[in-house]
Amino acid sequence: MNFFERQDQARRQSKRLILLFVLAVVAIVIAVDFVALLAFGLLSEDASPAKLTAGVIASTLVTLGIIGVASVYRTSSLRAGGAAVALQMGGTPVPEDTHDFHYRRLRNVVEEIAIASGVPVPQIFVMEEETAINAFAAGYAPADAAVAVTRGALDKLNRDELQGVIAHEFSHVLNGDMRLNIRLMGVLFGILVLGIIGRQVLVHGRGGRSSKGEAPVLLVALGLLVVGYVGLFFGRLIKAGVSRQREFLADSSAVQFTRQTKGLAGALKKIGGLQEGSKLASGKTEEVAHMLFGDGVGYSRLFATHPPLLERIQALEPAFKPQAMVDLTARWQMKPPSGLDEDAALGLDSRQPPPLPGDRAELSVTPPSVVAQVGAPQADDYARAGALVSAIPETLQRSARERDEAVPLLYGLLLAPPGKVRDRQQHDLAARQDERQFRQALDYADRIADLPRILCLPLAAMAMPALRKRPRAELEKFMDGCYALTHADGKVSLFEYCLGRLLRVQVHDALDPAGNWVAGNKRLADCAPQAISLMAILAQAGHDDGAGAMRAYLAGMNLLFPRADAPYQPPKDALKTLDELWPVLDRVEPRGKELLVEGLVAAVSHDGRICVAEAELLRVVCASLHCPLPPMLERAA
């Protein structure tokens, strides 16, 4: 199952969630109607049909209103994205410039996996009060994602095991599970709120003067409390139905990330063998249970949001026996594991990253091989991500992680080499930024001038957490500045234009994560003019001669729209055309995007090979369409 199939499955799961929610609401409404009619004596033989009908209508409308308002309220409270969920769970943000060794190791692992995935580095949190081993990812889109781990995970897991857990959580980011999980939090709160209301009425209604008029109200409150347990029952069933299979998929995706089962299986073994396990102490665990790496509540098998622990381990290591877990438990009772000590013993911090290809290197790719890589990094991608981070000068890494340096650094990535375009860019930037940021951007542009292109996207990804900390007004000004730099007299390179647009999209998504990115539902055939224009622009950008560009265009069209009568006609104003086509193509449904990416790869690689510059351009284009590609498009042998 590839990225596009997983995205499509997530869309179907969303529809299933809506159906289950509707069925749960219907059951709850019927139960509340019965309780209300019984409490107010409308089920007696003396009650007229008109009163009975009016009672049912009133009770139904009030119940639906409460459920609807509660669901909307809870969903709205989560509009800030993943960070809001992490903070509500008691998460402590991990500073970008941290010197704490545990935090630094966690940040390194998260940054490397983010770069390997082709997505912005998420916000990172640690639940300091939780000694169990657990983690979760939350957010509406990769641009606003947050990853949180417990203190127990930091202390007890070695680097490979921590990598396996984070890879599992990143698979939720890439598979489209995060948006589904946050929606689940919102709708389930709606069907649980009636029980909360009933409990509060009973608590505050005690001790008051008894009267005949209070009895029905207290009876209704008691009924609502019972109905609340019905809602809890349905809520747990919905969470189990939606979450359990996604967890198996996340485990398999995490193994694909790392191409080794030892790390992930080791983390699961420690959950099973240590007394703390994965159960969290927070009273808010019930609400996020379906998002966690391990069972944080202790559900029975009927309501389990995760497959049984032994089944998860045996799916990774078929030879693992139950007795082995007993032996591990006995060993760890004598000497609890320490992740840092295991790192030192295994030499996990001394591994050398592989060399990176030069700017003139050529890569051998095919459309199916690239499509298989979308949203699916593997072990060689992870290792190359570590090499990419190591290749970025330390001064630039520090700047990317600093709140006040991220904006001028990113502007520096978008500034053209000295010349007429740079002069125009400087004029536009000076009109939008203060003198200090303007001078910093020019300084960074000169320092980045010799930076290999393959390092530009990783550097931009590393700057996203610091960039998100800027005030909204400054972020909006930043997006305006990116637009100005990438449209300076229309002669900016296509890579620089696409990089600027990608930065704007990611910031835009982060400002309003709940509303700015939605899963696509348009057919590719309905967006054919935009897809054909993008194909022509990409073919033209990769060739200096018209004949070569035409051959590349025809190669892509033969795969994308083989029967279309669409001659090669690149638009005169490519940048304006791109501005118009992005929003349309980003709304294409997953299977249509899969075909579009295949066609674009066929155009770029019509001779079977592409250079690093073309590969990076393709990565930026795909990322703009929310189809992230790993750092290298050629798998290691």
Residues known to be catalytic = 169
Three-state DSSP class for residue 610: strand
**Structure tokens given for 384:** 């190359």
Q: Are 533 and 568 in contact (CB under 8 A)?
A: no
**Structure tokens given for 276:** 């703390």
Q: Are 229 and 293 in contact (CB under 8 A)?
A: no
DSSP 611: E
DSSP 224-241: HHHHHHHHHHHHHHHHHH
Region for residue 636 given its phi and psi (left: phi exceeds 0; alpha: psi -120 to 50; beta: otherwise): beta
CA distance 574 to 63: 54
Bridging pattern class, strands 362-364 and 609-611 = antiparallel
**Structure tokens given for 455:** 């390092």
CA distance 121 to 175: 16
Three-state secondary structure of 546-605: HHHHHHHHHHHHHHHCCCCCCCCCCCCCHHHHHHHHHHHHCCECHHHHHHHHHHHHHHHC
Q: Are 178 and 143 in contact (CB under 8 A)?
A: no
CA distance 630 to 454: 11
CA distance 61 to 84: 31
**Structure tokens given for 296:** 């944080």
DSSP 289: G
CA distance 520 to 525: 14
CB atoms within 10 A of CB 376: 22
DSSP 126: E
CA distance 53 to 42: 9
Bridging pattern class, strands 123-127 and 135-138 = unpaired
CA distance 326 to 315: 19
Q: Are 278 and 175 in contact (CB under 8 A)?
A: no
Region for residue 415 given its phi and psi (left: phi exceeds 0; alpha: psi -120 to 50; beta: otherwise): beta
